[in-house]
């Protein structure tokens, strides 16, 4: 099989550390086991060094570039996280456009392309990931790359009229003509993107490839975690109370203030649950250098204080809150003993936490998933209780429903979703994308 070249902004460590939080690397790690692989991307470090650092383990080679401090600020914090991320999540009001940042973004994509070209073999398949690297394929072609190039967008693509608010959106869309196949998470994203490209005369094929997880593998990790020392300690700390659980990067796309407000509404409107539940929200800090993220953190810290101040008893803390990441194994254990998972993003490309929760459940007594209808995962997980994440009252009602749901209904809802995840298989996503890329008509020049 020909070598696969993955290009993504961030690259997971060659040897797994277990603590990383981020859907893209979680999804990809599962996908590329057992294949000869070159993984190219940013090292996560800042320096003035221009050469990629190479390292290998097994059949995987990493080529990692440092960014300069200025590139990090302008390209990553500025254009990617300050402009494209909010725009693609339908939050144009939070976006800030600066031409210097857009230029730095293009320049970093060019630097990636120039460093990658000498590493390429003629029969490589190139797979580029996410919005950081929209222009990369076009630059690679300009520099003579003739390989097949696929691109996967992990986040949503908004309606063309929203996207058009981006200055120079046309140039970005025209760059996509250099790609042989674009993958997105949902039909809706595919429709939006195809329409936006069409307006620029670009007809690159777009396919829907929902990112999956290794459900049976995750179930095994989750089951084992409950019996470990820290798992037992955590369970004991609940004193028999039912666990409501959420875990998300601390990001405004995840709907955290609305979620906490929904929990407070539950305690207010359905006081029979007071003292009988504990809500643990894990929200590892993410993109702390971007001001909207710092503001969100302050807002949430305050809300947590207010909710606990209002409802706590001397022997009961209703809301546990941490902004520190937890080990993957620990997280799997939390998910297993969760009675109700709250996954309520305002917009999410897919949301892997929703799938991990389903995978982690004990078949004889499964919990209930409360899922935003604006997460890509909502198109697949039909057994979930769907909510509009903008409405705290609806979240409160869904919590009450989930906490009182009879076992037979919980089992039926869970079974259908679990079977679906298992059927999709651990590498179904990448296999389907790469098979279609292999069949795609070639855009390579000459
Ligand atoms: C992007 C798109 C799309 C979270 N906290 C901790 C931790 N995590 C893990 C979760 C999950 C992953 O990180 C998060 O994935 P999501 O899919 O929920 O969200 P994003 O990071 O925004 O990912 C998303 C995804 O890409 C894939 O295409 O689904 O829509 O936004 O696996 O469990 N892991 C550990 N500690 C934590 O504290 N170890």
Catalytic residue, candidates 154, 214, 273, 292:
154
What's the rounded Cα separation, in Å, for the pair 304 and 297?
Answer: 11
Q: Which atom of ligand 1 lies nearest, measured to the CA of 330?
A: 39
For position 181, what pLDDT does the model report?
98
Choice between 27 and 342, residue whose per-residue pLDDT is larger: 342
Give this prediction's pTM. 0.95
Q: Which of 35-49, 127-141, 234-248, 261-275 has the lowest average pLDDT?
A: 35-49
Q: How far is the CA of 21 from the centre of ligand 1 (A)?
A: 6
Residue 181 shares a structural domain with residue 306 = no
Would the pLDDT of 446 be above 50? Answer: no
Residue 128 shares a structural domain with residue 219 = no
Residue 193 shares a structural domain with residue 228 = no
For position 441, what pLDDT does the model report?
73
Residue 287 shares a structural domain with residue 303 = yes
What phi and psi, each to the nearest 5 degrees, are found at residue 318? -65, -30
For position 158, what pLDDT does the model report?
98
Would the pLDDT of 373 be above 70? Answer: yes
What's the rounded Cα separation, in Å, for the pair 113 and 157?
Answer: 24
Residue 183 shares a structural domain with residue 90 = yes
Contacts of 272 (CB under 8 A, 6+ apart): none
Q: How confident is the model at residue 279 (pLDDT cuts 50, 70, 90)?
A: very high
Contacts of 408 (CB under 8 A, 6+ apart): none
Q: Say if ligand 1 is within 6 A of residue 154 CB.
A: yes
Residue 194 shares a structural domain with residue 221 = no
| Domain of residue 311, residue span | 215-424
For position 425, what pLDDT does the model report?
83
Q: Say if ligand 1 is within 6 A of residue 350 CB.
A: yes
111-138: pLDDT as tens digits: 999 999 999 999 999 999 999 999 999 9
154 included as an active-site residue: yes
**Ligand 1 pocket: which of 18, 26, 328, 333 to mutate (most atoms within 8 A of CB):** 26
348 included as an active-site residue: yes
Q: Say if ligand 1 is within 6 A of residue 280 CB.
A: no
Q: How far is the CA of 441 from the centre of ligand 1 (A)?
A: 33
Token code pair at residue 384: 């979930």
Is 446 a domain residue?
no
Residue 152 shares a structural domain with residue 236 = no
Over the chain, what is the mean pLDDT? 94
Q: Which atom of ligand 1 lies nearest, measured to the CA of 325?
A: 38
Residue 43 shares a structural domain with residue 128 = yes
Is 444 a domain residue?
no
**Ligand 1 pocket: which of 352, 376, 381 to mutate (most atoms within 8 A of CB):** 352
Q: Say if ligand 1 is within 6 A of residue 353 CB.
A: yes
Question: Which class for 342: exposed (0-12), middle (13-18), buried (19 or more C-beta within 10 A)?
Answer: buried
Q: Which CATH number is 246's domain given?
A: 3.40.50.2000
Q: How far is the CA of 351 from the centre of ligand 1 (A)?
A: 7
Q: How far is the CA of 118 from the centre of ligand 1 (A)?
A: 33
Residues facing 279 on adjacent strands? 244, 319
138-150: pLDDT as tens digits: 999 999 999 999 9
Token code pair at residue 239: 């004193």
Q: How far is the CA of 116 from the centre of ligand 1 (A)?
A: 27
Average pLDDT over residues 252-268: 98
Q: What share of the chain is helix, strand, coil (3-state, %, to 5)?
A: 50, 20, 35
Residue 189 shares a structural domain with residue 298 = no
For position 66, what pLDDT does the model report?
96
Is 53 a domain residue?
yes
Q: Which atom of ligand 1 lies nearest, measured to the CA of 152?
A: 28
Q: How far is the CA of 356 from the centre of ligand 1 (A)?
A: 10
What's the rounded Cα separation, in Å, for the pair 387 and 371?
Answer: 6
Q: Say if ligand 1 is within 6 A of residue 430 CB.
A: no
Would the pLDDT of 198 be above 90? Answer: yes
Q: Say if ligand 1 is within 6 A of residue 95 CB.
A: no
Average pLDDT over residues 192-217: 96
Give all strands of the β-sheet with 181-184 in edge-to-edge order. Answer: 53-57, 60-67, 37-46, 4-10, 125-129, 148-152, 181-184, 206-208
Q: Which of 22-31, 49-58, 282-291 has the lowest average pLDDT?
A: 22-31
Q: Which atom of ligand 1 lies nearest, measured to the CA of 356?
A: 33
Residue 54 shares a structural domain with residue 193 = yes
Cβ(234)–Cβ(326) below 8 Å? no
Atom 1, ligand 1: which residue's CA is nearest? 23
Token look-up 């935003």 returns 372
Atom 28, ligand 1: which residue's CA is nearest? 154
């Amino acid at each position: 099989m020909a070598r696969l070249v993955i290009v993504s902004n961030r690259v997971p460590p060659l040897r797994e550390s277990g603590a990383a939080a981020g859907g893209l690397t979680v999804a990809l790690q599962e996908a590329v086991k057992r294949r000869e692989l070159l993984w190219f991307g940013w090292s996560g470090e800042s320096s003035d060094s221009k050469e990629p650092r190479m390292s290998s383990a097994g059949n995987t080679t990493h080529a990692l570039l440092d960014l300069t401090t200025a590139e990090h600020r302008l390209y990553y914090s500025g254009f990617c996280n300050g402009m494209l991320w909010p725009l693609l999540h339908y939050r144009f009001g939070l976006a800030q456009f600066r031409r210097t940042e857009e230029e730095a973004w293009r320049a970093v994509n060019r630097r990636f392309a120039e460093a990658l070209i000498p590493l390429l073999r003629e029969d490589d398949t190139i797979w580029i990931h996410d919005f950081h690297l929209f222009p990369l394929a076009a630059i690679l072609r300009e520099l003579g790359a003739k390989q097949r190039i696929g691109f996967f967008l992990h986040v949503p693509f908004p309606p063309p009229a929203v996207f058009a608010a981006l200055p120079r959106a046309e140039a970005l869309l025209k760059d996509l003509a250099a790609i042989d196949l674009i993958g997105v998470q949902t039909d809706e994203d595919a429709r939006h993107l195809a329409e936006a490209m069409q307006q620029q005369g670009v007809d690159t094929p777009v396919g829907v490839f929902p990112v999956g997880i290794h459900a049976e593998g995750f179930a095994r990790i989750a089951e084992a975690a409950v019996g470990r020392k820290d798992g037992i300690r955590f369970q004991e700390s609940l004193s028999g109370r039912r666990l409501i659980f959420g875990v998300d990067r601390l990001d405004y796309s995840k709907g955290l203030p609305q979620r906490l407000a929904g929990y407070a509404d539950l305690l207010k409107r359905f006081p029979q649950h007071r003292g009988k539940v504990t809500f643990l929200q894990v929200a590892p800090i993410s993109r702390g250098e971007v001001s909207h993220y710092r503001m969100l953190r302050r807002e949430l810290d305050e809300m947590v204080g207010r909710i606990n101040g209002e409802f706590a008893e001397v022997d009961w803390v209703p809301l546990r809150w941490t902004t520190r990441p937890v080990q993957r194994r620990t997280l799997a254990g939390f998910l297993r003993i969760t009675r109700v998972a709250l996954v309520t993003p305002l917009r999410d490309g897919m949301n892997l936490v929703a799938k991990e929760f389903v995978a982690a459940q004990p078949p004889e007594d499964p919990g209930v998933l409360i899922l935003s209808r604006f997460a890509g995962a909502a198109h697949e997980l039909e057994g979930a209780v769907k909510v509009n994440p903008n409405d705290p009252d609806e979240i409160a009602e869904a919590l009450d429903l989930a906490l009182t749901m009879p076992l037979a209904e919980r089992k039926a809802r869970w079974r259908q979703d679990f079977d679906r995840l298992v059927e999709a298989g651990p590498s179904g996503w990448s296999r389907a994308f790469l098979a279609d890329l292999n069949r795609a008509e070639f855009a390579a020049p000459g």
